Structure 1
Amino acid sequence: MNVMAKAKKKISSAFIYFFGSFGGILFGYDIGVMTGALPFLQADWHLENAASLVGWITSAVMFGAIFGGALAGQLSDKFGRRKMILMSAIVFMIFSVLSGVSPEIGEASAYYLIIVRMFLGLAVGAASALVPAYMSEMAPAKARGRLSGLNQTMIVSGMLLSYVVDFLLKDLPGEWAWRLMLGLAAVPALILFLGVLRLPESPRFLLRKGDEAQARKVLSYIRKNPAEIDQELASIKETAKEERQANQKTSWSTLFSSKYRYLVIAGVGVAAFQQFQGANAIFYYIPLIVQKATGQAASSNLMWPIVQGIILVIGSLVYMWIADKFNRRTLLMVGGAVMGLSFILPAVINWMMPNMNPMTIVVFLCIYVAFYSFTWAPLTWVLVGEIFPLAIRGRASGLASSFNWIGSWLVGLIFPIMTASMPQEAVFAIFGIICILGVIFVKTCVPETRGHTLEEIEEQGTNHGRVKATNPEN
């Protein structure tokens, strides 16, 4: 035990935060990898005219993630954040490999891959829930905002990594290209597993299990002085007590009581709009979008996902720089308005100028991605983390996450079906209208959370009519 304690003592806080957030790489890699793999898979399995199957293969991960996040949240309360992240990495490794070795058995091949990717989605959903929870419980309060930005940067870095891997493998024979693209997802999962083996359990979980001595030891790895440790232990105990009391008094019906309904609708609505605005349609299908716009083979357009990935990474860094300089609502409304126009304008231009350069739509999509990357992408989860009162936080956050994954799944599923039955510009115009509706929703239904205490936010929720009357900007 002494040897293990000394080994853990040498772990730096940077190591803990890096591997604590590394699960975002897995999340991002699997979001992005199908972008490059899909054109080769379509050609290999002759799925060019099977829009529904293509949609299901792509969106199966998100369908599994709907359940993975909720399941992991409950199991992590019983077994710990660290153990569940390790289990997620193992599941991710297994089903990434099984995706890469999909058998050639006719149409049944597609159904095999759909089922495997659903199980892979369980790990993706678990990572999306566990990583922010672990990071928030390990990070000092003053660093939580920046570290939420770090999680977003890890996610988009994982997407960029998958795009680069897809590009590097594109010249392989088609049947090998997509298999390696999907199978190599096991590599970051292995890295995560090996890194998390050295990570400690979160002090909050340890205290809930009554192990105060170990919780103190873990905090000593990442806090500067004994006084800070004592203060945080006391704070964790008090919060845990309040949460136990809150959970005893609340049920699912409490979320929609008059006291909390306004804040629940605001948080869940923002989480749902983030996905229904169509961002994942670009991330999953950009090579096929370019193919349909230009007539060039999708497999030769794998540079475009890299461009999108670079924009996403830069945008996540921009967000970390501006996060505390502008109101949440302002950023969401400006971002949503530009995103909506980026989708609607190509349809308008194409209607006015039928001979429009087909690459115009791709340029507008890049503008969309740029504004999404530093507004709706990170701010959705910042706002969800701030807006729910303690008494309903667990249930409301879970509901918001579920609606977000449902939106992601539906967009991935129906986009190829929509583009098979109507012009691409019309499909994006529909998403553009949803973006504008999102702006209206934020303007009318979402309170400002920046600079407000949790108590003040709850006051806005329970008395929002009076607050709006006396303070219209909120």
Structure 2
Amino acid sequence: MNVMAKAEKKISSAFIYFFGSFGGILFGYDIGVMTGALPFLQADWHLENAASLVGWITSAVMFGAIFGGALAGQLSDKFGRRKMILMSAIVFMVFSVLSGVSPDMGEASAYYLIIVRMLLGLAVGAASALVPAYMSEMAPAKARGRLSGLNQTMIVSGMLLSYVVDFLLKDLPGEWAWRLMLGLAAVPALILFLGVLRLPESPRFLLRKGDEAQARKVLSYIRKNPADIDQELASIKETAKEERQANQKTSWSTLFSGKYRYLVIAGVGVAAFQQFQGANAIFYYIPLIVQKATGQAASSNLMWPIVQGVILVIGSLVYMWIADKFNRRTLLMVGGAVMGLSFILPAVINWMMPNMNPMTIVVFLCIYVAFYSFTWAPLTWVLVGEIFPLAIRGRASGLASSFNWIGSWLVGLIFPIMTASMPQEAVFAIFGIICILGVIFVKTCVPETRGHTLEEIEEQGTNRGRVKASNPEN
């Protein structure tokens, strides 16, 4: 025990925060890797005219993630955040390899890959739920905002990594290129597994299980002042007590009672709009988008995903710089307005000038990605983390996450079907209208959370509920 304690003492807070957030790399890698793999997979399996199969192969991970996040949240309360992150890394490794060795059996191959990627999605959804939970429970209160930005930076860095890997492998024979692209996702999963082996368990989970001595030891690794440790232990105990009492008094119907309805609609709505605005259509299909616009083979357009990835990483760093300087609502509305115009203007220009340069749409997509990267991408989860009162936080956060994954899955599924049946500019114009609807939603339905305590935010919901109850026609 003493030897283990000494070994654990050597763990630095930087190591804990780095590998605590490293699961975002897995999440981002698998979001991005199909972007480059898909053109080669389509050619290898002759799926160029099978839009629905292409949509299912691409979106299967998100379908699995809908269930993976919910399942991991429940299991982590029983077994711990650390053990579930380790389990997610193992699942990710296994099914990444199985994706890369998909048998070539004609159309049956597509169904095999869809099933394997759904199971892989369980690990992706688990990582998306477990990493923020672990980080929020390990980070000091004053650093939680920056560390939420670190998680976003890890996700987009994983996407950029996958785009670079796709580009480096593009000159291999087609049947090998996509297999290696998918299979190499096992490498960051292995790194995560080895890193998390040395991580301590969350002090909050340890206290919930009655192990106060170990919780104090873990806090001593990441807090310098002993007085802060005592204060935090007392705070965790009090919060855990309040949550137990809240869970005993609430049900799913509580979310839509007059007192909480306003805040639940606001948080879940923002989470859903983030995906239905169409960002993932770009991230999954940008080579095919460029191919349709220019006529060049999608497999020769793998530099464009790297451009998008660089923009995303820079945007995540910009967000960390401006996060506490502007209101959440202001950033969401400005970002959503520019994103909407970036989708709508190419359709308008093409209507007015049918001979428009086909790369115009790609330029506008880069503008969209730039504004998305420092507004809706990170702020959705900051706002979801702030807006739900304690009594409903667990259920409401899970509902918001589910709607977000459902949106991600549907966009990935239907985009190739839509572009097969209508002009590409028209498809993006539809997403642009959804962006503008998102701006209207934020303006009319979402309260400002920056600079407000959780109690003040809850009071806004309570007051809005009273107003609605006294003026039902509104």
* Same-fold call, TM cutoff 0.5: yes
Correspondence list, 1:47-446, <5 A: 47-446=47-446
Task: Tell me the alpha carbon deviations over residues 140-185 of structure 1, each in whole angstroms, 9 at most, x when there is no partner.
Answer: 0000000000000000000000000000000000000000000000
C-alpha separation between the residues in 2 aligned to 1:161 and 1:279? Answer: 18
Matched-pair contact (CA < 8 Å) for 1:287–1:301: yes
Task: Tell me the alpha carbon deviations over residues 42-62 of structure 1, each in whole angstroms, 9 at most, x when there is no partner.
Answer: 000000000000000000000
Q: CA deviation at 1:472?
A: 20
C-alpha separation between the residues in 2 aligned to 1:420 and 1:16? Answer: 46
C-alpha separation between the residues in 1 aligned to 2:2 and 2:40? Answer: 53
Which ranges of structure 1 fall in alignment gaps of 5 or more residues? none
Q: Structure 1 length normalisation: TM-score?
A: 0.98
Matched-pair contact (CA < 8 Å) for 1:33–1:159: yes
Runs (4 or more) in structure 1 with deviation over 6 Å come to 465-474
Question: Structure 1 467/252 Cα, relative in aligned 2: closer, same or farther at 3 Å?
Answer: closer
Matched-pair contact (CA < 8 Å) for 1:27–1:128: yes
C-alpha separation between the residues in 2 aligned to 1:298 and 1:380? Answer: 31
Question: Structure 1 316/469 Cα, relative in aligned 2: closer, same or farther at 3 Å?
Answer: farther
Q: CA deviation at 1:102?
A: 0.0
Task: Tell me the alpha carbon deviations over residues 19-59 of structure 1, each in whole angstroms, 9 at most, x when there is no partner.
Answer: 00000000000000000000000000000000000000000
Matched-pair contact (CA < 8 Å) for 2:156–2:313: yes
Matched-pair contact (CA < 8 Å) for 1:319–1:374: yes
Task: Tell me the alpha carbon deviations over residues 346-379 of structure 1, each in whole angstroms, 9 at most, x when there is no partner.
Answer: 0000000000000000000000000000000000
Aligned partner of 1:42 in structure 2 is 42
C-alpha separation between the residues in 1 aligned to 2:186 and 2:267? Answer: 34
Matched-pair contact (CA < 8 Å) for 1:206–1:214: yes
C-alpha separation between the residues in 2 aligned to 1:321 and 1:72? Answer: 32
C-alpha separation between the residues in 2 aligned to 1:185 and 1:426? Answer: 34
Q: CA deviation at 1:4?
A: 1.1
Matched-pair contact (CA < 8 Å) for 1:286–1:304: yes
Which ranges of structure 2 fall in alignment gaps of 5 or more residues? none
Q: CA deviation at 1:3?
A: 1.1
Matched-pair contact (CA < 8 Å) for 2:315–2:374: yes
C-alpha separation between the residues in 2 aligned to 1:469 and 1:72? Answer: 37
C-alpha separation between the residues in 1 aligned to 2:183 and 2:252? Answer: 40
C-alpha separation between the residues in 2 aligned to 1:263 and 1:155? Answer: 27
C-alpha separation between the residues in 2 aligned to 1:467 and 1:5? Answer: 56
Q: CA deviation at 1:469?
A: 15
Matched-pair contact (CA < 8 Å) for 1:33–1:182: yes
Question: Structure 1 133/472 Cα, relative in aligned 2: closer, same or farther at 3 Å?
Answer: farther
Matched-pair contact (CA < 8 Å) for 1:39–1:299: yes
Aligned partner of 1:455 in structure 2 is 455
Q: CA deviation at 1:464?
A: 2.2
Task: Tell me the alpha carbon deviations over residues 267-322 of structure 1, each in whole angstroms, 9 at most, x when there is no partner.
Answer: 00000000000000000000000000000000000000000000000000000000
C-alpha separation between the residues in 1 aligned to 2:472 and 2:385? Answer: 23
Q: What is the aligned residue count?
A: 474
Q: CA deviation at 1:465?
A: 6.9
Task: Tell me the alpha carbon deviations over residues 419-461 of structure 1, each in whole angstroms, 9 at most, x when there is no partner.
Answer: 0000000000000000000000000000000000000000001
Q: CA deviation at 1:470?
A: 16
Matched-pair contact (CA < 8 Å) for 1:460–1:467: no
Q: Structure 2 length normalisation: TM-score?
A: 0.98
Task: Tell me the alpha carbon deviations over residues 385-416 of structure 1, each in whole angstroms, 9 at most, x when there is no partner.
Answer: 00000000000000000000000000000000
The root-mean-square deviation of aligned C-alpha atoms, in Å, is: 2.1
* Equivalent position SS for 1:463: helix
Task: Tell me the alpha carbon deviations over residues 77-104 of structure 1, each in whole angstroms, 9 at most, x when there is no partner.
Answer: 0000000000000000000000000001
* Equivalent position SS for 1:92: helix
Q: CA deviation at 1:466?
A: 7.7
Q: CA deviation at 1:471?
A: 18
Matched-pair contact (CA < 8 Å) for 1:20–1:196: yes
C-alpha separation between the residues in 2 aligned to 1:415 and 1:461? Answer: 36
